[in-house]
Structure 1
Amino acid sequence: MKKTRIFLGLREIGEYYKNLKDGFHELGIECTLIDLVYSPFQYIGSDTPNNIVSMKRWANKNVLLNKNIFIKVFCFYLSRILDFPLFLWALYRFDVFIFGFGESFIINYLDLPILKFFNKKVIFVFFGSDSRPPYIGLDLIQNKRYTMPTHIKNSATKKRKIRQIEKYADIIIDHPPTSHFHEKKIIQWLSVGIPKRYILSNSNVHVNQNLEIKILHAPSNPMAKGTEKIRKSIRALREKGYSINYTEVVGKPHSTVISELKKCDFIVDQIYSDTPMATFATEAAWHGKPSVVGGYYANGIVNDFPKEIIPPSLYCHPDDIQDSIEKMIIDESFRNDLGKKAMEFVQKNWSPEKVAERYLRLIEGNIPEEWYYDPNNIQYLQGGGVSEQLIKETVRAMIEYGGIKSLQLSDKPELEKKFKDFAYQ
């Protein structure tokens, strides 16, 4: 029987693919990870199997960092040209392709029909911002200069990309509250899990013996994570008399984040999350550290998932973030128990080999029915990374400027109406 050869790429996030690769290797599966995107977080684990990969990484880094416009332009086109030999190399070598962030080898997904023609298995994994409608996500705060026509254009572009991916992908993994633009059934993100592992010992598990509570916040994007509101909550709690050692880690190597994680009592992940345990909260769980996570989806997650696959965290409405931090401070028993439950959950369900085993089931077509989610059933409207009020204002402005069709939800008329009612309530 021919051995399955798996390709992972082309962009890393929180060592997701590095850990998935480790899981495949533990199962004896040949797997190669290629991360082509320069990142200040210094994720490790990407392979460099040929000079094409080295040249493309060099070109991509210069496009991002080099101040010389001529070098930027040269490297941009060099990178695009290198897409073709890299794709041909991968096409010959691999049987399964697992892509992330809605990206494949060649612009406009010209490689996908070729992969389909050669009977390659194609899996796309979405991580939130790459599938969530722009009008309920980070675009609203990261690109404040965007005009309404730009928001409408970006929504149409993302819908078109997802539709094109769905045409050729064998499997799509996404999170129900970000699946508005999908038209076909997806595999639920939490059913597969987030692959992580840390080898813990007494020397690297820190237990705080002081009365001072150590809280860690490590936002990859402070605006999206609601960092200013978290700071405000910490200031208010200090004014109430709590002794708090609050640490922020921003834009530092991943090793720095882990070093601080070992020292803290608990973390505050973010305020507007549509998942109770994203990458940073998962890392905290592996260290036995509980997480406070804010998000509008906290009230609705039980409608989409059975309780046993919902990861343990203090998942609360954004308006309750200060009260939740306070609860974690004053209730030591609750805090320690939540940290223990979180660690037990990830060890049992989200180890690299466990997640890799689930991927093998996807590849082999042995998929439990409960893993599927029909995006026609979606009820969630508040998105992620932004406030409910800003979403309402944006949706209302889009409808008034471009009509209800500008939301790109014509295939889901009930959801389309829900958004309109939500915006004008």
Structure 2
Amino acid sequence: MKKIYVIDTNVLLHDPLAMFAFEENEVIIPSVVLEEIDSKKRLADEIGRNARFVSRELDRMRTSGHLHNGVALESGGILKVEMNHRRFVRVQESFGEMTNDNRILAVALNYHMEEQEKEESRPVILVSKDVLVRVKADVLGITAQDYLTDRISADSDQYNGHVTLRVHPSVIDEFYNQRSLNIAGLGTANRLLPNEFVILKDELGTSKSALLKVTPDGRRLEPLHLSNDPVWGITARNAQQRMALELLLNDEIPLVTLSGRAGTGKTLITLAAGLMKVEDEHKYKKLLIARPVVPMGKDIGYLPGEKEEKLRPWMQPIYDNLEFLFDTKKSGDLDKILMGLGSIQVEALTYIRGRSIPGQFIIIDEAQNLSKHEVKTIVSRVGENSKIVLLGDPEQIDHPYLDAQSNGLTYLVERFKEEGVSGHVTLEKGERSRLAQLAAERL
């Protein structure tokens, strides 16, 4: 049975292609949504770009017919702009003033009431990323859903880059003797992915174990190439950190993603690996470090000074880690070191759009605050002989339209997990302090 979907503004600002994602069903865009889209189109960020895209697409569809009468979509559905708010009195009785959200609810309620009067009524569903709008819809008796089209699988199914297998001790002995294992001979029901890490443990309960990595072609297991020697003074403190360093220092893997809670060491070990590759091995010409400018709390507004002075508060977590790695003692020492080296550049992601970045070790911190379109833009900037590393904690998202399943970092991990050019590890154990680990677990 075909359905009627009423789309909230935040869905289109989150994914401008959402209006085409409902197959053969009828898609309703309340007229107040156009007003909200219009108010956002002058913004210079991702929301502004999405608003402009939606505006252009609606204008293009006008050539096929009147939007208030409905325009046929390639999927077989119909797109309509609806101005009817006549059921607003009931919404106003429940929720008071005539806000834009309540106008959208009134349109959905109007369709719902009209369909209830028909013999063969179609389900009316309000689609919104605003939790309270969905709650209000439920109060009014309207079915409401989050926009789920661009979300990856549930938490339990998310790829974490490593797996533990219990095998007969003879299999572990075979690996140590031959320094390789055929995946087909393991008899595991789970498919192992390229560059995935495998921890073999003795099924009989002894302490015998081995840490291996799947080859890029996905056919064999091989030992880790790196010893546990310090990397710019940083030594891996757990198995996941050692896996991360294996990926970071492997020049044959140009895309690395690391996720994990605060304090697991993502940024520190990545900076250490980048410094080794750039300053010691000279594999890359420059170390480029960037992060999105998304505030955790209320925005502090415009900052005075030149670009470097404006960026300093946003990039301070990066500078804190660099101060630790360079073991600086006094204020200002790090700036002198960075000026002397000239090969380390700290930028806001705003300045990466449109660039081509060859021969560089690129670190994108706080990548969980990026949309899938922004991630595509960034990764597609990577030039020849460059390596890009994206870091983030999907549980700490400050972007208003993203969550743990729809952010760019999670999306990238899911899309590239079967590619031999990429590797991923989810860091699980906090190493910052016992207090930080408890805070991440309990708060």
Give TM-score scaled by structure 2 length: 0.33
Q: Which has the higher helix share?
A: 1
Of structures 1 and 2, the larger Rg is shown by 2
Q: Which has the higher strand share?
A: 2
Question: Which structure is richer in relative contact order (CA contacts within 8 A, separation 6 or more)?
Answer: 1
Give TM-score scaled by structure 1 length: 0.34
